[in-house]
């Protein structure tokens, strides 16, 4: 269960923020029953990523409830592009071993011409 918590990272394109946050909250409370609610929230926020974590911490003043954190995550991800990835993660193990092809740019292959006046 601890490995599943450590491996779970929030991908806005793939995961629903409310179900992801509640699942991580349940996992941490099952693993560490003596941990306070604010420490659980801080460990979950570390899994969100740098920009999204900073935006949520700026909006929520400690101590906040779980519902307030979920509302903040949903509000930030729907109104801004914070937390979205430039490249989508591979969905299955078959494509993860193959390199991702780079886009073909014609202007890189064309020879450079010097124009003299």
Q: Which two tokens stand for residue 34?
A: 């003596």
Domain count along the chain: 1
How far apart, in Å, are the Cα atoms of 51 and each of 18, 57, 116? 18, 10, 47
| pLDDT per position as a tens digit, 71-94 | 998 898 888 877 666 555 566 655
User: For the packed helices 17-31 and 66-79, what is the interaxial angle rounded to 10 degrees?
Assistant: 150
The pLDDT value given to residue 34 = 92
Cβ neighbour number for residue 25 with a 10 Å cutoff: 18
Average confidence (pLDDT) over 44-54? 86
The two three-digit tokens of residue 53, written as one number:
């974590």
Q: How many Cβ atoms from other residues are within 10 Å of residue 90's Cβ?
A: 12
Whether 104 maps to a domain, the answer reads no
Whether residue 101 lies inside any domain: the answer is no
Residue 19, domain member (yes or no): yes
Q: Cβ distance 60 to 53 under 8 Å?
A: no
Instruction: Judge whether 77 lies within some domain.
Output: yes
pLDDT above 90: percentage of residues in the chain: 18
Residue 100 falls inside a structural domain: no
Q: What angle do CA 44, 47, 101 make, to 5 degrees?
A: 160
Show the domain range for 51: 2-85
CB 105 within 8 A of CB 92: no
């Amino acid at each position: 269960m601890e490995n599943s918590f450590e491996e779970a990272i929030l991908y806005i394109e793939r995961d629903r923020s409310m179900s992801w946050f509640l699942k991580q909250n349940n996992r941490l409370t099952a693993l560490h029953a003596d941990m306070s609610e604010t420490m659980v929230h801080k460990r979950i926020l570390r899994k969100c990523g740098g920009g999204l974590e900073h935006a949520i911490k700026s909006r929520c003043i400690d101590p906040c409830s779980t519902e307030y954190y979920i509302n903040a995550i949903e509000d930030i991800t729907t109104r801004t592009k914070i937390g979205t990835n430039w490249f989508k993660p591979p969905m299955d193990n078959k494509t993860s071993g193959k390199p991702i092809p780079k886009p073909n740019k014609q202007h890189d292959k064309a020879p450079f011409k010097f124009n003299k006046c």
